[in-house]
Amino acid sequence: MVYAVVGGWLALAALVVAAWRRMGQDRRWRVAVLLFVLGFSLLHQLLFATATEDAYVSFRYAQNIADGNGPVFTMGDRSETYANFLWLVVIALPRGAFGAEVPTAAMILSCAAALGCVLTAYFLANRIAALGLPEGVEPRRAIGVAAALLTAGANGLAVYGLSGTELPMFSLLVLCVAYAVVAGRPVVAGVLVASAVMTRPEGLVLAVVGAVWLVSAAARGRHTWWAPVGFVLGALVFLVPWTAWRVTYYDRFVPAAELPSGPDWPYLGGFALAHLGFLVPAAVVAGLVAARGRSVEARSALWLLLALAIGHAGIVLFFEKDPGLSWRLLVPVPPLLAVAAVAGCGILTPAPRPGAVSRAVPAVAAALTGIAVAVSVFSPEVLERVRAWRTQGAQLAEVGDWLARYLPPGSVVSAGSPGLLASRAGSKVLVVGLDAERSTVAVPGRSGYASRQDCADDLPAWYRVATFRRIGTPFWISVYPRADDASQLVDELDRAPDFHYVSCP
């Protein structure tokens, strides 16, 4: 698959550069090349195609919604341990309407949202570049193809495209909000902002930045004061009833969350280093537009994208913990920077000389996409970590099957990865999070098997540690049965032919 992605990039890069002039003149060429870009984006996603623990938690909630049990992980326990309400509803709909499997529907929908990001980047870049055109000049719509190509190369979007998580849909909503604001559709932008807030808490950045941008534009006379008012009303139409329902259903206004102890600067530094191909062009183009940009509206739209990217990165850095793969919570930032960089090029060079065909933009976009693909393939924080998680997920699935088969019916498992274990345990065993007291067995590990026996007994006093060797492998798993039933539970688990109990020294 690595060779297919690299080969796809080489072929697409050559096509975009060679067909640049035709794309600017013929809509059919643009459509054809865009289809190739979408195909490359799908290929890039297939390189990873791994559902994460967050996805399995969402699958469990969505399953309960579709089955009429409400948005709960465990029936009878109204705990709001999710932050992606709208995504849960979206992936529950196919099961409720057609009986489709939730994981399959979620992966298809997240992939479709990632492809939607590629298309929206095309339209948004063209829209902003058109704002910088002198009157009577024909728009250069091929500019949008370069933005779509860069977005297809964004490795964060590719990692989560087939993951079944809400991140591609949230990224799509971010780009759509920017498009609606730039296009002068404040009510639509408000509705989309409400959707984004119900999908991820970082959507609050969209609300604040969008409102400030519209108020500033109204104060400068670029549109009426109805725009910010319509924006707020469009958002409140959905946010007010949703908030009222949450307070009623979960009996709390703000979800319980653990804030980080401080900004995670190494996290941001690693992200910046891996995404220099997006950060540097956006910063350079922004500086040039500030010095030479001709259109106030175009420059303002460019600042909107940059403000959204900076605001989103800021709220993640200061207020959220991200233990996920490939800078999970920063997935929307590279597409925003890609559109800003390409659209800025369109603002700087709105009217080329007659007969001149500059291939600098497609050549640079293709080269930067190649750098992004190289990061996907070679960075230890991307493909290597995804493969490690895929292995760990397969191991946790084995553990879930083992517990479900050999624990007594009705047992309660307190797990560090409850979503994945619950997906395999079925109805015989109840899987809950690590905060559950007096569970039958605790499995705190989040990373599958260990390479050595681990007899650490740092759980509460009502648990005992029991270590099992995975037969035929050098791997171990530590579980913590309840103290008063430890002997019986260990004997039950030791009946499995694939796991052998080994007492701690």
Residues 159, 171: contact at Cβ < 8 Å?
A: no
| 62-113 residue pLDDT tens | 888 888 888 888 777 777 778 889 999 999 999 888 888 888 999 999 999 9
Tell me which DSSP letter residue 417 carries. Answer: S
Q: Specify the range with the lowest mean pLDDT, choosing from 139-143, 158-162, 259-263.
A: 259-263
The edge-to-edge listing of strands for the beta sheet with 441-443 is 430-432, 412-415, 441-443, 476-481, 466-470, 499-502
Residues 41 and 135 grouped into a single domain: yes
Q: How far is CA 169 from CA 120, 146, 151, 296, 331, in A?
A: 12, 22, 14, 31, 11
> Mean pLDDT throughout 395-422?
84
Range of the domain at 459: 385-502
| Cα gap 324→327, rounded to integer Å | 7
| Cα gap 227→244, rounded to integer Å | 26
Q: How far is CA 281 from CA 133, 144, 220, in A?
A: 21, 16, 29
Q: What confidence score (pLDDT) does residue 292 get?
A: 66
Residues 134 and 158 grouped into a single domain: yes
Residues 346 and 214 grouped into a single domain: yes
131 vs 202 pLDDT, higher one: 202
Q: What confidence score (pLDDT) does residue 496 get?
A: 87
| Cα gap 13→218, rounded to integer Å | 42
Residues 140 and 199 grouped into a single domain: yes
Residues 330, 156: contact at Cβ < 8 Å?
A: yes
Residues 339 and 486 grouped into a single domain: no
Q: What confidence score (pLDDT) does residue 360 get?
A: 81
Tell me which DSSP letter residue 482 carries. Answer: B
pLDDT higher than 60, residue 356: no
Residues 247 and 281 grouped into a single domain: yes
Residue 412 three-state SS? strand
Q: How far apart are the first and last CA of the chain?
A: 45
| Cα gap 310→307, rounded to integer Å | 5
| Cα gap 201→316, rounded to integer Å | 10
Q: How many domains does the chain have?
A: 2
Residues facing residue 357 across a β-bridge? none
Angle at 322 between CA 89 and CA 440, to 5 degrees: 70
Residues facing residue 502 across a β-bridge? 467
φ, ψ (nearest 5 deg) of residue 469 = -95, 130
pLDDT higher than 70, residue 184: yes
% of the chain exceeding 90 in pLDDT: 28
Helix ranges, 293-382 (H): 296-319, 333-348, 360-378
Longest dimension (CA), the chain: 85
Q: How far is CA 18 from CA 6, 22, 23, 76, in A?
A: 18, 9, 10, 61
Q: What confidence score (pLDDT) does residue 461 get?
A: 76
Could you say which of 347, 378, 409 is where a domain stops?
378
| 426-461 residue pLDDT tens | 677 888 877 667 788 888 877 888 888 888 877 777
Residues 129 and 226 grouped into a single domain: yes
Tokens of 456: 């650490």
> Mean pLDDT throughout 491-503?
88
- Band of residue 337 on the pLDDT scale cut at 50, 70, 90: very high
Q: Which pTM value belongs to this model? A: 0.90
Residues 347 and 476 grouped into a single domain: no
Residue 430 three-state SS? strand
Q: Specify the range with the lowest mean pLDDT, choosing from 78-82, 282-286, 401-405.
A: 78-82
- Band of residue 3 on the pLDDT scale cut at 50, 70, 90: confident
Output the average pLDDT for the chain: 85
Q: What confidence score (pLDDT) does residue 195 get?
A: 94
| Cα gap 400→424, rounded to integer Å | 5
Residues 368 and 393 grouped into a single domain: no
Residues 50 and 34 grouped into a single domain: yes
pLDDT higher than 60, residue 351: no
> Mean pLDDT throughout 39-52?
90
| 196-236 residue pLDDT tens | 999 999 999 999 999 999 998 888 887 888 888 999 999 99
Residues 154 and 23 grouped into a single domain: yes
- Band of residue 355 on the pLDDT scale cut at 50, 70, 90: very low
Could you say which of 328, 344, 378 is where a domain stops?
378
CA 54 to chain CA centroid, Å, is 10
Tokens of 470: 């995975």
> Mean pLDDT throughout 300-316?
91
| Cα gap 301→217, rounded to integer Å | 10
Residues facing residue 442 across a β-bridge? 414, 480
Could you say which of 352, 378, 404 is where a domain stops?
378
| Cα gap 81→141, rounded to integer Å | 44
Helix ranges, 47-142 (H): 53-66, 85-98, 102-131
Closest CA to 194 of 221, 229, 159, 232: 232
Residues 368, 278: contact at Cβ < 8 Å?
A: yes
> Mean pLDDT throughout 22-50?
89
What does 121-149 look like in DSSP terms, one character per residue? Answer: HHHHHHHHHHHTSPTTPPP-TTHHHHHHH
- Band of residue 24 on the pLDDT scale cut at 50, 70, 90: confident
Residue 191 three-state SS? helix
pLDDT higher than 50, residue 357: no
Residues 356 and 411 grouped into a single domain: no
| Amino acid at the residue 368 | L
pLDDT higher than 90, residue 119: yes
| Cα gap 444→200, rounded to integer Å | 26
Element (H, E) at 397: helix 383-406
Angle at 208 between CA 343 and CA 283, to 5 degrees: 30
